[in-house]
Structure 1
Amino acid sequence: MTENDLLYTLALQHVPKIGDITAKRLISFCGSAEAVLKEKKQTLAKIDGIGQAILIDIHKSNHLKAAGEEIHFIKENKIKVSYFKGESYPEKLKHCIDGPILLFQTGNISLEQQRIISIVGTRKITTNGITFCNNLVEQLKPYNPIIVSGFAYGTDITAHKAAIKNGIQTIGCLAHGLNQIYPKVHKKYMVDVENNGGFFSDFWSTDVFDRNNFIKRNRIIAGLSEATIVIESAEKGGSLVTADIANSYNRDVFAVPGRVTDSQSIGCNNLIKHQKAMMLTNPLDVPYILNWKLEDDHKPVLQKQLFVELDATEKTIYNYLKDNEKQQLDVIAINCRLPIFKVSSTLLNMELKGIIRPLPGKLFEVV
């Protein structure tokens, strides 16, 4: 995008009460951010969701002034900016209704490799959690994925460090502008991350750091990725929010189970129990379920058993999938006239027998 386009898009962002969804609606109606800011109020008032609070502020000159100052910061620090309609904007994030209209970037991020997963979890990660995370990233190395996380304490920094150790690209999504780093103790990892990927943020350099920013940041973590993996989580936590957002984007979610007595496993166990995440016990379940293929001869081979005995429920589901190809769990349940919990457990049994397989987007098909 041109500097003039960036100026007006930043100015539109600066208008109070205009978030990403509203900004996209305005740009779609008027054609560009510049056209929005030059459009008459009476015309803008006809757009759904545009109230008086927005109209009062939208033509004030301070927005362009602030945008000009932010452009100075962007130029001075050689920050790359991606526009939500541009080619450099992450493809998967384009499909998120609340994805940022502008994404700021440092480092050497390359999104040509579209095997992108996010790894999140508690800030109080246990020794078992660290071991699982390191093993997960190491075993995924042959698939050359991009590892996304939030650069926070615990699980996040463990995932970033594991990616760097294995020479895998990693992206840190920040909850503040690119003129600062939180937590400060992680500043020592910044160069390694930027050499092996980089950082994304949709916050300005002038935005005040606020813990509520983490929720907004989490939508980028979930939106960039085809799957989100929760390593450990207490009963409540930001990683569970990320998992919920990923589910809302119809992305795959995995959770590592733990003992019912472990406080840092309650969140993961609940995700699995409420069918908000697939249970992850083996790192190679990730490429299998996401249907990743290796180019060499080391890819895992999953063979269908011959002459498998099926019970009545399994036969019903098998015949339905055979006739209708790929289908989602809830669609299978409706058309086979079976409760979802029954279909879910039956599909797992059929998968273990090697006669069906899960696919991205929570789809299932006959092998």
Structure 2
Amino acid sequence: MSTVPLQPAPTLSWTQGDAEHSARWFSASGALPPKTLQAVDDSLTADDAYRLAAQGTAMLWQGDYHNARQLLSAIARRLPIFSRHDGEDVAKAFYRYRQGRTQRARMLGLLLVPLEPGPAVALRRAPDVAEAWTAAAGDVAEATVTPLQDVLGAVGAFEWRRNGVFVQELDAVIYPHYGTFAPIRSEYLALVEQAELPSTELAFDVGTGTGVLAAILAKRGMQRVIATDTEPRAIACAQENLANLGLDTIVEPTLVSMFPAGKAPLVVCNPPWLPGTANTLLDNAVYDPKSRMLKAFIAGLAEHLDTGGEGWLIISDLAEHLGLRSREELLQWIDKSGLEIKDRLDTEPRHPRSMDRADPFFAARSREVTSLWKLVARA
């Protein structure tokens, strides 16, 4: 049996004084090591830091940790603020907005910090990040360099994991892991909690994430749920949440792409709602490149439905209001896959951005409708 050799971890090399240095490179987004790097400390001004970042020069911080955080904020304040052009097409404006967000992430990702085994940030006054970093990225076995943004992201995600998110439909708390989407938009959860079940025998939850939809189905009396995901961290997250809820004998988290083997009377999927490229782990829960997951669910649904079974597609129409996908395209995909629409349950958003008139895309967000489409195989 042949094996695929492991790829060596990427390294970062730089010169400081007369000495050559190197360290392992880590980026949560999978970014390549920067080509140019300059060691900097507390004497670096915010203007000079912004200039270096704009030139694509990474800065390896060797000063005080809290000063590094302040510098990162100062760089962010100097970045351009997005605004819509008069009469600009909404789709073009949103594409330009996404380009700006990508550029912003790239520039802020150029302020780097050293990590050492522990794991620990090797800077003065650095907080204890051992638990947070291990939960997000694993152990640190050797000297490593990473964007400060990744450290802050790991710490923030660990707070979400430690505190959890109360889910009214479960009357319980769900604990999202690093890289899994926190179920903070309750309207789509309410749709799954309220929709009439075609059966309580078996359900597939495709793309389970934290396991929240699988848990709601189990709470509603589903005897067995197979919950799939392609990400090991999502499977681990779902397993932990389901065990906490006492539902681990009903729900089976399974590492597989899209559908498990076989058929079910109910197949549920809540794919990312917007076509687009994901720039971060959390973006994967929001952006679906070229609508690949949405198309795969619709295309494969009929062959995984029992006779008389239903597929529940939970998705918002924000992409339509942003000009990223038309309703006609969605209906065509459904029709070409041998499916028809049995019913559709709609709800309006209640999240803060849908009511923020200062948002450049308020007109689109305020008209958003989240729906549960009940799809069945065409007779």
**TM-score where L is the length of structure 1:** 0.30
Instruction: Name the structure where helix makes up a greater proportion of residues.
Output: 1
